[in-house]
A = this chain, B = another copy of it.
Amino acid sequence: MRALSSLPLTDRGLHYGDGLFETMRVVDGHIRLLDRHLGRLVAGAGRLAIPLPPMDTLRSSLEHAAEGHRDGVLKLIVTRGAGGRGYLPDEHPDPSVVLLRYPAVAPDTINAPVTVRLCDLRIARQPVLAGIKHLNRLEYVMARAEWRDPAIAEGLLLDTSGYLIEGVVSNVFFVREGRLFTPGLHQCGVAGVMRAHVMACAERLGIRVEEGGWRLDDLLCADEVFLTNSQSGMRPVVRLSGHRTWAVGDLTRQLQLALGADA
């Protein structure tokens, strides 16, 4: 496996967004939640029928890159590679692998309370692409372009049928009467690795997470709301701009404590 230093103009990642990515947090030379990132990549590659490099090779390349990049962010992009003209994928694609390093997120954002807004853009329902982290991200660009106020940390997204799905770069959970809920992602949305990690952590604490279809009204009735993201951990939502405020709740704090150094 050889990571590219520039992209051939014929790459299908550019032409069609025909590929996948993972954005991983590196702390002290180690990638957090690496197994979960690789698991999602494998799931996405299966869905898109993109052959990945051998998992051992991929893992050791990532670990090696992390060693040389003590703290920060590693972004891995895997595309279907260069293609002939046209949508038809090659029967035996030769994927392109791109590995990029970015600075660490500001430490004071990790697990920190946030104000969010509701985006006007509604996410399209496409079960064939739901959950995986593919390169077709224009909806998220359009949603993120709706605000520049740095006091707003995140935008919440409903889908075109009015169901709550996620944040632009996070997943959303809410608590009501001691029960923990998160939107199902079978129609759209990205199944975040921190979402999966928080769900597993909750199960270990005996807290069942209910996945399903909920609307804005369900969120507005919640007792606690928090967001998950592999870079910034578990952030309590203390205000939905134009709607209401929340205190940081007990269940949120309990889960943050349980996540500990993984958040």
Does B134 lie within 8 Å of A138, measured CB to CB? yes
Flag the segment in A140-148, A193-201, A249-257 that touches B.
Answer: A140-148
Asked whether, in the complex, the Cβ of A11 is within 8 Å of the Cβ of B9, the reply is no
Answer whether residue A129 sits at the interface, using C-beta atoms and an 8 A cutoff. yes
Interface assignment of A110: CB less than 8 Å from any CB of chain B:
no
Interface 0/1 of A103-145, CB less than 8 Å to B = 0000000000000000001001110110000111111111111
How far in angstroms is the closest Cβ of chain B from A256? 24
Q: A15-B21, A16-B137, A136-B17 are in contact. Are A7 and B9 (CB under 8 A)?
A: yes
Copies of this protein chain in the complex? 2
Q: Is the CB of A13 closer than 8 A to any CB of chain B?
A: yes
Residues of A at the B interface (CB closer than 8 Å) are: 4-18, 21, 48-49, 73, 75, 77, 79-80, 85-89, 91, 98, 100, 102, 121, 124-126, 128-129, 134-145, 148, 160, 168-169, 188
For residue A12, which residues in chain B have a CB less than 8 angstroms away from its CB?
141
For A100, the chain B residues whose CB sits under 8 A away are 9-10
Q: How far is the CB of A155 from chain B (nearest CB, A)?
A: 10
Q: Please give, as numbers and ranges, the residues of chain B lying within 8 Å of A126 by CB-CB distance.
A: 124, 139, 160
Highest count of chain B CB atoms <10 Å: which of A11, A128, A129: A128
The 8 closest A-B pairs by CB, nearest first: A17-B17, A124-B126, A87-B144, A124-B124, A136-B136, A16-B137, A7-B7, A6-B6
State whether B49 touches A145 (Cβ < 8 A): yes
**A127 nearest CB neighbor, chain B only:** B160
Q: Are A87 and B17 neighbours in the complex by a CB distance under 8 Å?
A: no
- Chain B residues with Cβ below 8 Å from A17 are 16-17, 135-138
- Picked from B85, B144, B148, B168, the residue with its CB within 8 Å of the CB of A102 is B85
Query: How long is the Cα–Cα vector from A71 to B160 in the complex, in angstroms?
Result: 43
Query: Given A14-B79, A16-B17, A135-B138, list of 13 further CB < 8 A pairs?
Result: A6-B6, A6-B8, A9-B100, A15-B77, A16-B138, A17-B137, A48-B138, A48-B142, A75-B85, A87-B137, A89-B145, A124-B125, A124-B129
Q: In the complex, how many angstroms separate the beta carbon of A3 from the nearest chain B beta carbon?
A: 9
Q: Are A18 and B145 in contact (CB under 8 A)?
A: no
Looking at the complex, which one of B7, B15, B160, B169 makes contact with A11 (CB distance below 8 Å)? B7
Query: Are A16 and B77 in touch, CB under 8 angstroms?
Result: no
Specify which chain B residues have a CB less than 8 angstroms from the CB of A169 in the assembled complex.
Answer: 86-87
